[in-house]
Amino acid sequence: MDLTTTDPNLAILSVPVKARYAYGLPLLAQYKLDETEGAAFVDSSGTSPNAVVEIRDQPPGFGQSPLLPTGEGMAFRFTPAESNTTGNFAHALVPHLPNVSYALWIRPEAKADSSTGRTLLQRSSLFTTLGTLCSLNLSPTGQLFFDINKLNAGSAPAVLTEDGAIVDGQVYHIVVTHRDENGFSDGNSPVGTRTRLYVNGALVSTDDPQVTPLGYTDYQFTSTSEGLYIGSATSSGAGFAGDMDDLQVYSIELTPEQVAALYQQPGKNAFNLETVTMPFNIVRALYNAASGTLTIAWNSQSGAVYEVQQSSGLSGWTTVPTLTNIQAIGVTTTAVIRGVTPTGGKNFYRVGRVSP
Protein backbone atom coordinates (compact mmCIF):
# COMPACT_ATOMS: atom_id res chain seq x y z
CA MET A 1 0.00 0.00 0.00
CA ASP A 2 1.32 3.41 -0.96
CA LEU A 3 0.97 5.87 1.92
CA THR A 4 3.19 8.57 0.44
CA THR A 5 0.88 10.15 -2.11
CA THR A 6 -0.77 13.52 -1.47
CA ASP A 7 -2.87 13.42 -4.64
CA PRO A 8 -6.54 13.69 -3.53
CA ASN A 9 -7.70 12.20 -6.84
CA LEU A 10 -6.13 8.83 -5.98
CA ALA A 11 -8.06 6.20 -4.06
CA ILE A 12 -5.30 5.84 -1.47
CA LEU A 13 -5.12 9.11 0.42
CA SER A 14 -2.29 10.65 2.38
CA VAL A 15 -1.97 9.08 5.83
CA PRO A 16 0.52 11.10 7.90
CA VAL A 17 1.39 9.00 10.95
CA LYS A 18 2.86 10.77 13.98
CA ALA A 19 3.11 9.88 17.63
CA ARG A 20 -0.17 11.66 18.30
CA TYR A 21 -1.93 11.63 14.92
CA ALA A 22 -3.05 9.26 12.18
CA TYR A 23 -5.26 11.12 9.70
CA GLY A 24 -6.41 9.73 6.39
CA LEU A 25 -8.70 12.55 5.23
CA PRO A 26 -6.86 15.54 3.73
CA LEU A 27 -9.74 17.92 4.53
CA LEU A 28 -8.99 18.55 8.21
CA ALA A 29 -11.69 21.18 8.74
CA GLN A 30 -14.22 23.32 6.90
CA TYR A 31 -15.67 26.11 9.00
CA LYS A 32 -18.39 27.65 6.86
CA LEU A 33 -19.01 30.38 9.50
CA ASP A 34 -22.76 30.29 8.78
CA GLU A 35 -23.77 30.36 12.47
CA THR A 36 -26.18 33.08 13.63
CA GLU A 37 -25.43 32.73 17.35
CA GLY A 38 -23.68 30.57 19.91
CA ALA A 39 -20.09 29.95 20.97
CA ALA A 40 -18.70 27.70 18.23
CA PHE A 41 -17.93 27.40 14.53
CA VAL A 42 -19.04 23.97 13.36
CA ASP A 43 -16.57 21.87 11.38
CA SER A 44 -18.76 20.58 8.55
CA SER A 45 -16.12 17.99 7.58
CA GLY A 46 -16.53 16.22 10.92
CA THR A 47 -12.76 15.65 11.21
CA SER A 48 -11.78 18.32 13.75
CA PRO A 49 -13.48 19.67 16.86
CA ASN A 50 -15.68 22.70 16.49
CA ALA A 51 -13.85 26.00 16.91
CA VAL A 52 -14.37 27.87 20.17
CA VAL A 53 -15.60 31.42 19.55
CA GLU A 54 -14.61 34.15 22.01
CA ILE A 55 -17.12 37.03 22.11
CA ARG A 56 -15.92 40.08 24.03
CA ASP A 57 -17.27 42.91 21.87
CA GLN A 58 -20.88 43.73 21.12
CA PRO A 59 -22.63 43.08 18.89
CA PRO A 60 -21.39 39.54 18.22
CA GLY A 61 -20.10 39.01 14.71
CA PHE A 62 -22.47 36.24 13.65
CA GLY A 63 -24.78 36.43 10.64
CA GLN A 64 -22.96 38.90 8.40
CA SER A 65 -23.62 39.13 4.67
CA PRO A 66 -21.84 36.28 2.87
CA LEU A 67 -18.56 36.87 1.07
CA LEU A 68 -19.13 34.01 -1.38
CA PRO A 69 -20.01 35.39 -4.83
CA THR A 70 -22.90 32.91 -4.94
CA GLY A 71 -24.53 34.72 -2.01
CA GLU A 72 -24.83 31.50 -0.02
CA GLY A 73 -24.54 31.21 3.73
CA MET A 74 -23.25 33.89 6.06
CA ALA A 75 -19.95 35.36 7.25
CA PHE A 76 -18.50 36.23 10.65
CA ARG A 77 -17.19 39.68 11.59
CA PHE A 78 -14.00 39.66 13.64
CA THR A 79 -12.97 42.51 15.90
CA PRO A 80 -9.34 42.83 17.02
CA ALA A 81 -8.26 41.29 20.31
CA GLU A 82 -5.74 43.90 21.43
CA SER A 83 -6.07 43.04 25.11
CA ASN A 84 -7.48 40.26 27.24
CA THR A 85 -10.85 42.03 27.37
CA THR A 86 -11.38 42.98 23.72
CA GLY A 87 -11.98 41.23 20.43
CA ASN A 88 -14.17 38.61 18.79
CA PHE A 89 -12.07 35.70 17.50
CA ALA A 90 -11.81 31.90 17.66
CA HIS A 91 -9.40 29.02 18.22
CA ALA A 92 -9.65 25.40 17.13
CA LEU A 93 -7.84 22.15 17.89
CA VAL A 94 -7.24 21.39 14.23
CA PRO A 95 -4.47 18.76 13.90
CA HIS A 96 -1.00 20.18 13.36
CA LEU A 97 0.75 18.39 10.46
CA PRO A 98 3.84 19.14 8.35
CA ASN A 99 1.90 19.70 5.10
CA VAL A 100 -0.93 22.20 5.15
CA SER A 101 -3.17 24.38 3.01
CA TYR A 102 -5.48 27.13 4.24
CA ALA A 103 -8.28 28.57 2.09
CA LEU A 104 -10.59 31.39 3.16
CA TRP A 105 -12.57 34.40 1.98
CA ILE A 106 -11.96 37.79 3.64
CA ARG A 107 -13.19 41.38 3.57
CA PRO A 108 -10.75 43.35 5.77
CA GLU A 109 -11.37 46.60 7.60
CA ALA A 110 -8.94 49.17 8.93
CA LYS A 111 -8.10 48.97 12.63
CA ALA A 112 -8.27 51.90 15.02
CA ASP A 113 -4.75 51.00 16.14
CA SER A 114 -2.80 50.76 12.90
CA SER A 115 0.46 50.03 14.70
CA THR A 116 -0.37 46.33 15.08
CA GLY A 117 -0.84 43.77 12.35
CA ARG A 118 -4.04 41.98 11.40
CA THR A 119 -3.60 38.26 11.98
CA LEU A 120 -5.90 36.00 9.99
CA LEU A 121 -4.54 32.64 11.19
CA GLN A 122 -1.77 31.62 13.56
CA ARG A 123 -0.17 28.63 15.23
CA SER A 124 2.27 29.37 18.00
CA SER A 125 3.91 27.18 20.61
CA LEU A 126 4.26 30.27 22.79
CA PHE A 127 1.84 32.95 23.92
CA THR A 128 3.18 35.52 21.50
CA THR A 129 2.03 37.67 18.58
CA LEU A 130 5.00 36.39 16.57
CA GLY A 131 4.14 33.38 14.40
CA THR A 132 6.58 30.95 15.99
CA LEU A 133 5.18 28.11 13.84
CA CYS A 134 3.15 29.69 11.05
CA SER A 135 1.03 32.79 10.67
CA LEU A 136 -1.06 34.38 7.90
CA ASN A 137 -1.09 38.16 8.32
CA LEU A 138 -2.29 41.37 6.71
CA SER A 139 -0.25 44.52 7.32
CA PRO A 140 -1.87 47.92 8.00
CA THR A 141 -0.88 48.92 4.44
CA GLY A 142 -2.50 45.93 2.73
CA GLN A 143 0.39 43.51 2.31
CA LEU A 144 -0.58 39.87 2.78
CA PHE A 145 2.17 37.56 4.02
CA PHE A 146 2.75 34.12 5.52
CA ASP A 147 5.40 33.63 8.21
CA ILE A 148 7.01 30.27 8.97
CA ASN A 149 9.08 29.54 12.08
CA LYS A 150 9.29 33.22 12.87
CA LEU A 151 11.06 33.59 16.19
CA ASN A 152 11.87 37.29 15.97
CA ALA A 153 10.41 40.40 14.40
CA GLY A 154 13.25 40.74 11.90
CA SER A 155 12.86 37.47 10.00
CA ALA A 156 11.39 37.70 6.51
CA PRO A 157 8.03 36.17 5.51
CA ALA A 158 8.12 32.99 3.44
CA VAL A 159 5.70 34.41 0.85
CA LEU A 160 4.09 37.82 0.47
CA THR A 161 2.17 40.11 -1.88
CA GLU A 162 3.06 43.61 -2.96
CA ASP A 163 2.26 46.37 -0.50
CA GLY A 164 -1.33 47.55 -1.03
CA ALA A 165 -2.41 44.39 -2.85
CA ILE A 166 -5.28 43.84 -0.40
CA VAL A 167 -7.67 46.80 -0.16
CA ASP A 168 -9.94 47.34 2.83
CA GLY A 169 -13.60 46.77 2.07
CA GLN A 170 -12.95 44.43 -0.88
CA VAL A 171 -13.55 40.68 -0.94
CA TYR A 172 -10.68 38.26 -1.63
CA HIS A 173 -10.19 34.51 -1.78
CA ILE A 174 -6.89 33.63 -0.10
CA VAL A 175 -5.04 30.31 -0.23
CA VAL A 176 -1.65 29.50 1.28
CA THR A 177 -0.03 26.08 0.83
CA HIS A 178 3.01 24.61 2.56
CA ARG A 179 4.78 21.38 1.67
CA ASP A 180 7.35 19.66 3.88
CA GLU A 181 8.59 16.32 2.54
CA ASN A 182 10.77 15.69 5.62
CA GLY A 183 7.92 16.20 8.04
CA PHE A 184 8.79 17.01 11.64
CA SER A 185 11.90 14.83 11.49
CA ASP A 186 14.53 17.55 11.15
CA GLY A 187 14.58 18.84 14.73
CA ASN A 188 14.75 22.43 15.87
CA SER A 189 16.02 23.80 12.54
CA PRO A 190 13.26 22.53 10.26
CA VAL A 191 13.53 22.79 6.48
CA GLY A 192 10.46 22.78 4.28
CA THR A 193 9.99 22.01 0.60
CA ARG A 194 8.02 25.00 -0.69
CA THR A 195 5.34 27.54 0.21
CA ARG A 196 2.89 29.28 -2.13
CA LEU A 197 0.44 32.14 -1.76
CA TYR A 198 -2.62 32.63 -3.98
CA VAL A 199 -5.10 35.51 -4.27
CA ASN A 200 -8.37 35.05 -6.19
CA GLY A 201 -7.20 31.80 -7.74
CA ALA A 202 -3.85 33.11 -9.03
CA LEU A 203 -0.38 32.33 -7.68
CA VAL A 204 1.13 35.59 -6.44
CA SER A 205 4.17 34.47 -4.43
CA THR A 206 6.40 31.46 -3.88
CA ASP A 207 9.62 30.78 -1.98
CA ASP A 208 12.79 32.61 -2.92
CA PRO A 209 14.74 29.94 -4.88
CA GLN A 210 17.99 31.31 -3.47
CA VAL A 211 16.92 30.66 0.13
CA THR A 212 16.41 27.29 1.79
CA PRO A 213 12.65 26.92 2.40
CA LEU A 214 11.61 27.10 6.02
CA GLY A 215 9.72 24.42 7.88
CA TYR A 216 8.22 24.30 11.35
CA THR A 217 8.29 21.94 14.31
CA ASP A 218 5.70 19.91 16.17
CA TYR A 219 4.23 21.18 19.45
CA GLN A 220 1.84 20.23 22.23
CA PHE A 221 -1.48 22.04 22.60
CA THR A 222 -1.73 23.90 25.92
CA SER A 223 -4.08 26.42 27.50
CA THR A 224 -2.04 29.25 25.96
CA SER A 225 -1.23 27.64 22.59
CA GLU A 226 -4.73 26.48 21.78
CA GLY A 227 -4.26 25.01 18.34
CA LEU A 228 -5.13 27.25 15.41
CA TYR A 229 -6.07 30.84 16.23
CA ILE A 230 -8.62 32.29 13.80
CA GLY A 231 -8.82 36.06 13.46
CA SER A 232 -6.11 36.74 16.02
CA ALA A 233 -2.52 35.92 16.91
CA THR A 234 -3.36 35.15 20.54
CA SER A 235 -6.23 35.83 22.90
CA SER A 236 -4.85 39.33 23.40
CA GLY A 237 -2.83 40.56 20.46
CA ALA A 238 -2.66 41.53 16.78
CA GLY A 239 -6.30 40.74 15.98
CA PHE A 240 -8.01 40.90 12.59
CA ALA A 241 -10.75 43.41 11.80
CA GLY A 242 -13.29 42.48 9.14
CA ASP A 243 -15.36 39.61 7.79
CA MET A 244 -14.29 36.03 7.07
CA ASP A 245 -16.12 33.21 5.31
CA ASP A 246 -15.62 29.49 4.57
CA LEU A 247 -12.29 28.66 6.22
CA GLN A 248 -10.88 25.34 4.97
CA VAL A 249 -7.82 23.50 6.34
CA TYR A 250 -6.08 20.64 4.51
CA SER A 251 -3.25 18.23 5.38
CA ILE A 252 -1.87 18.41 1.83
CA GLU A 253 -0.44 20.98 -0.54
CA LEU A 254 -3.33 21.93 -2.83
CA THR A 255 -2.42 22.11 -6.51
CA PRO A 256 -2.77 25.32 -8.58
CA GLU A 257 -5.67 23.66 -10.41
CA GLN A 258 -7.47 22.94 -7.14
CA VAL A 259 -6.90 26.49 -5.89
CA ALA A 260 -8.27 27.96 -9.11
CA ALA A 261 -11.30 25.66 -8.93
CA LEU A 262 -12.00 26.65 -5.31
CA TYR A 263 -12.14 30.29 -6.44
CA GLN A 264 -14.38 29.42 -9.40
CA GLN A 265 -16.73 27.30 -7.27
CA PRO A 266 -17.26 29.21 -3.99
CA GLY A 267 -18.34 27.09 -1.05
CA LYS A 268 -17.00 23.84 -2.47
CA ASN A 269 -14.00 22.07 -0.98
CA ALA A 270 -11.24 20.34 -2.94
CA PHE A 271 -13.06 17.00 -2.79
CA ASN A 272 -16.54 17.94 -3.97
CA LEU A 273 -15.60 20.21 -6.86
CA GLU A 274 -17.60 19.87 -10.05
CA THR A 275 -15.86 19.30 -13.36
CA VAL A 276 -16.28 22.59 -15.18
CA THR A 277 -15.17 23.35 -18.70
CA MET A 278 -14.50 27.06 -18.85
CA PRO A 279 -15.04 28.73 -22.25
CA PHE A 280 -11.66 29.46 -23.81
CA ASN A 281 -12.28 33.08 -24.82
CA ILE A 282 -10.45 36.38 -24.99
CA VAL A 283 -12.31 38.37 -22.35
CA ARG A 284 -10.60 41.75 -22.58
CA ALA A 285 -8.62 43.79 -25.12
CA LEU A 286 -7.29 47.31 -24.54
CA TYR A 287 -5.39 49.22 -27.23
CA ASN A 288 -3.15 52.15 -26.32
CA ALA A 289 -2.38 54.15 -29.46
CA ALA A 290 0.17 56.36 -27.70
CA SER A 291 2.36 53.44 -26.66
CA GLY A 292 1.44 51.12 -29.51
CA THR A 293 0.44 48.31 -27.14
CA LEU A 294 -2.49 45.96 -27.07
CA THR A 295 -3.26 44.27 -23.74
CA ILE A 296 -5.36 41.14 -23.96
CA ALA A 297 -6.69 38.76 -21.31
CA TRP A 298 -8.23 35.32 -21.73
CA ASN A 299 -9.79 32.54 -19.69
CA SER A 300 -7.05 30.07 -18.81
CA GLN A 301 -6.41 26.90 -16.88
CA SER A 302 -3.73 27.16 -14.25
CA GLY A 303 -0.61 25.28 -15.38
CA ALA A 304 -1.50 25.24 -19.08
CA VAL A 305 0.83 26.87 -21.63
CA TYR A 306 -0.36 29.38 -24.23
CA GLU A 307 0.96 31.52 -27.08
CA VAL A 308 -0.33 34.63 -28.88
CA GLN A 309 -0.60 34.51 -32.65
CA GLN A 310 -1.02 37.31 -35.21
CA SER A 311 -2.26 37.72 -38.78
CA SER A 312 -3.11 40.50 -41.19
CA GLY A 313 -5.95 38.62 -42.89
CA LEU A 314 -7.18 35.70 -40.77
CA SER A 315 -4.75 33.35 -42.50
CA GLY A 316 -1.04 32.68 -42.37
CA TRP A 317 -0.98 32.95 -38.59
CA THR A 318 2.42 33.43 -36.94
CA THR A 319 3.41 33.45 -33.29
CA VAL A 320 4.21 36.81 -31.71
CA PRO A 321 7.93 36.28 -30.94
CA THR A 322 7.86 37.59 -27.38
CA LEU A 323 4.63 35.81 -26.41
CA THR A 324 5.42 32.11 -26.57
CA ASN A 325 5.29 29.52 -23.78
CA ILE A 326 3.10 31.63 -21.50
CA GLN A 327 2.33 29.49 -18.45
CA ALA A 328 -0.95 30.37 -16.77
CA ILE A 329 -0.99 30.69 -13.00
CA GLY A 330 -4.67 31.50 -12.58
CA VAL A 331 -8.10 31.52 -14.18
CA THR A 332 -7.25 34.61 -16.26
CA THR A 333 -3.98 35.30 -18.08
CA THR A 334 -2.86 38.66 -19.49
CA ALA A 335 -0.32 39.49 -22.20
CA VAL A 336 0.90 42.76 -23.73
CA ILE A 337 1.51 42.92 -27.48
CA ARG A 338 3.98 45.68 -28.32
CA GLY A 339 4.62 47.54 -31.56
CA VAL A 340 0.99 47.50 -32.68
CA THR A 341 0.77 50.22 -35.34
CA PRO A 342 -2.07 49.61 -37.84
CA THR A 343 -1.40 51.43 -41.13
CA GLY A 344 -4.53 51.31 -43.22
CA GLY A 345 -5.16 47.61 -42.73
CA LYS A 346 -6.19 45.38 -39.87
CA ASN A 347 -4.27 43.30 -37.39
CA PHE A 348 -5.81 40.10 -36.01
CA TYR A 349 -4.73 38.29 -32.88
CA ARG A 350 -5.68 34.99 -31.29
CA VAL A 351 -4.54 32.84 -28.39
CA GLY A 352 -3.50 29.23 -28.83
CA ARG A 353 -3.17 26.62 -26.10
CA VAL A 354 0.14 24.79 -26.55
CA SER A 355 -0.05 22.26 -23.70
CA PRO A 356 -1.17 20.28 -21.87
The candidate with the shortest Cα–Cα distance to 33, out of 63, 70, 69, is 63
Segments of the chain assigned to CATH 2.60.40: 282-355
Residue 261: phi, psi to the nearest 5?
Answer: -70, -35
Pinpoint the residues of the chain covered by CATH 2.60.120.200.
27-264
Fold exhibited by the domain 27-264: Jelly Rolls (2.60.120)
Rounded alpha-carbon distances, angstroms, from residue 91 to 52, 54, 170: 5, 8, 25
Domain 282-355: top CATH class = mainly beta
Residues 100-145: pLDDT tens digits?
999 999 999 998 877 778 999 998 876 665 557 889 999 999 999 9
Ramachandran angles phi, psi of 143, nearest 5°: -100, 125
What does each of the 356 residues of the chain score in pLDDT, given as a tens digit?
334 445 555 444 444 434 334 455 799 999 999 999 999 999 999 999 999 999 999 999 999 999 999 999 999 999 999 888 999 999 999 988 889 999 999 999 998 877 778 999 998 876 665 557 889 999 999 999 998 877 655 567 888 899 999 999 999 999 999 998 877 766 666 788 899 999 999 999 998 766 777 777 777 766 666 789 999 988 887 899 999 999 999 999 999 889 999 999 999 999 998 876 556 778 888 888 888 899 998 888 777 889 999 887 777 889 999 898 898 877 788 999 998 876 666 788 899 888 76
59-93 confidence digits (pLDDT tens): 999 999 999 999 999 999 999 998 889 999 999 99
Residue 286 per-residue DSSP state:
E
312 close to 291: Cβ distance less than 8 angstroms:
no
Distances (CA, A) of 45 to 26, 29, 50, 74, 102: 10, 6, 10, 17, 14
